[in-house]
Chain A
Amino acid sequence: MERYYQPEIECASREEIKKLQDERLVKQVRHVWDNVPYYRKKMEAKGLTPDDIQSAEDLYKLPFLSKKDLRESYPYGLVGVPLKDCVRIHSTSGTTGKRVMAFYTQHDIDLWEDCCARAITAAGGGDEDVVQVSYGYGLFTGGLGLHGGSHKAGCLTIPTSSGNTERQIMFIQDLNATILCCTPSYAAYLGESMREMGLSPEEIPLKAGIFGAEAWSEEMRHDIEKTLGIKAYDIYGLTELSGPGVAFECSAQNGMHINEDHFIAEIIDPKTGEVLPEGTQGELVFTSLDKEAFPLLRYRTRDICTLTREKCSCGRTHVKMCKPKGRTDDMLIIRGVNVFPSQIETVLLNNGYQANYQIVVDRVNNSDTLDVRVEMTPEMFTDNLGEITRRQRALVDGLKSMLGIKANVTLVAPKSITRSEGKAVRVIDKRKI
Chain B
Amino acid sequence: MSVRQISVFLENKPGQLNQLTEVLAENNIDMRALSLAETSEFGIVRLIVEDVYEATQVLKDAGFVSSLTKVVAVAIPDEAGGLNKILKVFTAMHINIEYMYAFLGGKEVKQAYMIFRVDDYKTASAALRSAGLKLLDQEDIADL
**Chain B residues closer than 8 Å to A385, beta-carbon distance:** 37, 39, 44
Whether A413 contacts B41 in the complex (CB less than 8 A), given A381-B66, A381-B67, A383-B69, comes out as no
Contacts of A412 in B (CB 8 A): 11
- A401-419 interface (Cβ within 8 A of B): 410-416
Q: What is the bound-complex CA distance between A382 and B65, given in angstroms?
A: 10
B19 to nearest A CB, angstroms?
9
Given contact pairs A413-B11, A413-B16, A381 touches B65 in the complex (Cβ within 8 A): yes
> What is the CA–CA distance of A377 and B10 in the complex, to the nearest angstrom?
12
CA A414 – CA B10 in complex, angstroms? 9
Query: What 7 A-B pairs are tightest by C-beta distance, nearest first?
Result: A383-B7, A383-B69, A381-B65, A376-B9, A385-B37, A376-B65, A415-B63
Q: How far is the CA of A188 from the CA of B45 in the complex (A)?
A: 29
Q: Which residue of A lies closest to B7 (CB)?
A: A383
* Contacting residues of chain B (94-140) with chain A, CB-CB under 8 angstroms: 98, 117
Closest A residue, CB atoms, query B10:
A413
The interface of chain B, by Cβ under 8 A from chain A, is 5, 7, 9-11, 16, 37, 39, 41-42, 44, 46, 63-67, 69, 98, 117
Distance in angstroms between the alpha carbons of A64 and B58 in the assembled complex = 59
Question: What A residues does B46 contact at CB under 8 A?
Answer: 383
A126 → chain B closest CB, angstroms: 40
User: Contacts A385-B39, A410-B41; is A377 near B11 (CB within 8 Å)?
Assistant: no
Q: Specify which of B44, B63, B65 lies most central, judged by the most chain A CB atoms within 10 Å of its CB.
A: B65
Q: How far, in Å, is A427 (CB) from chain B's closest CB?
A: 21
Structural contact, A389 and B39, CB atoms closer than 8 A:
yes
* Apart from the given pairs A385-B44, A388-B42, 17 other A-B contacts in the complex at a CB distance below 8 Å: A376-B42, A376-B65, A378-B65, A378-B67, A381-B66, A381-B67, A382-B7, A383-B5, A383-B69, A383-B117, A411-B11, A413-B9, A413-B16, A413-B63, A413-B64, A413-B65, A415-B63
Q: Does B44 contact A377, Cβ atoms closer than 8 Å? A: no
Query: For chain A residues 391-433, which have a beta carbon within 8 Å of chain B?
Result: 410-416
- CB A65 to nearest CB in B, in angstroms, measures 47
Q: A414 touching B67 by the CB < 8 A rule? A: no
Residues of A within 8 A of B66 (CB): 378, 381
Q: Is A384 an interface residue (CB 8 A)?
A: yes
Give me 16 A-to-B residue pairs in the complex whose CB atoms sit less than 8 angstroms apart, sorted by A's number.
A376-B65, A378-B66, A381-B65, A381-B67, A382-B67, A383-B7, A383-B67, A389-B39, A411-B9, A411-B11, A411-B42, A413-B9, A413-B16, A413-B63, A413-B64, A414-B9
- Is chain B's binding surface mostly helix, strand, loop or mixed? strand
Closest to A385 in B: B37
In the assembly, what is the distance between CA of A415 and CA of B60, in Å? Answer: 12
Residue of A with least CB distance to B70: A383
Asked if A381 and B9 sit within 8 Å, CB to CB, the answer is yes
Most B Cβ at <10 Å: residue of A376, A410, A412, A413: A413
Q: How many angstroms from the CA of A415 to the CA of B37 in the assembled complex?
A: 22
Question: Nearest Cβ in chain B — how far from A214, in angstroms?
Answer: 25
Closest CB of chain A to B55's CB: distance in Å? 15
With a CB–CB cut-off of 8 A, which chain B residues contact A376?
9, 42, 65
Q: Which of B9, B11, B44, B69 has the most CB of A within 10 A?
A: B9
Residues in A whose Cβ lies below 8 Å from that of B16: 413
Cα(A416)–Cα(B69), bound, Å? 25
Q: Is the CB of B44 within 8 A of A383?
A: yes
> Given the complex of chains A and B, what is the CA–CA distance between A4 and B131 in angstroms?
77
Q: Binary interface profile of A, 361-394, with partner B (CB < 8 Å = 1, else 0)?
A: 0000000000000001110011111001100000
> Per-residue CB proximity of A348-370 to B under 8 Å, as 1/0?
00000000000000000000000
B30 to chain A, nearest CB (A): 21
Q: Is the CB of A414 within 8 A of B39?
A: no
Q: Give the CA-CA distance A382 to B39 in the complex, in Å.
A: 14
CB distance from A23 to the nearest CB of B (A): 59
B-side contacts of A415, CB under 8 Å: 63
Identify A377's interface contact among B5, B65, B69, B98, CB under 8 A: B65
Which residue of A384, A388, A414, A416 has the most chain B CB atoms within 10 A of its CB atom?
A: A384
Bound complex: CA A151 to CA B42 (Å): 50
Q: Which A residue sits closest to B16, measured CB to CB?
A: A413
CB-nearest residue of chain B relative to A412? Answer: B11
- A411 and B63 contact, Cβ closer than 8 Å, known pairs A383-B5, A383-B117, A416-B11: no
Instruction: A242 to B11: give the CA distance in the assembly, Å.
Output: 45
Q: What is the CA–CA distance of A382 and B98 in the complex, to the nearest angstrom? A: 14
**What residues of A have a CB within 8 angstroms of the CB of B5 in the complex?**
383
Determine the distance from Cα of A388 to Cα of B41 in the docked complex, in whole angstroms.
12
- Nearest-neighbour CB distance to chain A for B49, whole angstroms, equals 15
Q: How far is the CA of A414 from the CA of B9 in the complex (A)?
A: 9
Are B64 and A414 neighbours in the complex by a CB distance under 8 Å? yes
B126 to chain A, nearest CB (A): 22
* Nearest opposing residue in chain B for A410, CB measure: B41
Chain A residues in 8 Å Cβ range of B10: 413
Give the contacting residue for B98; candidates A378, A384, A388, A410; CB below 8 A: A384
**Chain A residues within an 8 Å CB radius of B65:** 376-378, 381, 413-414
Contacts of B98 in A (CB 8 A): 384
| A388→B37 CA distance, assembly (Å) | 12
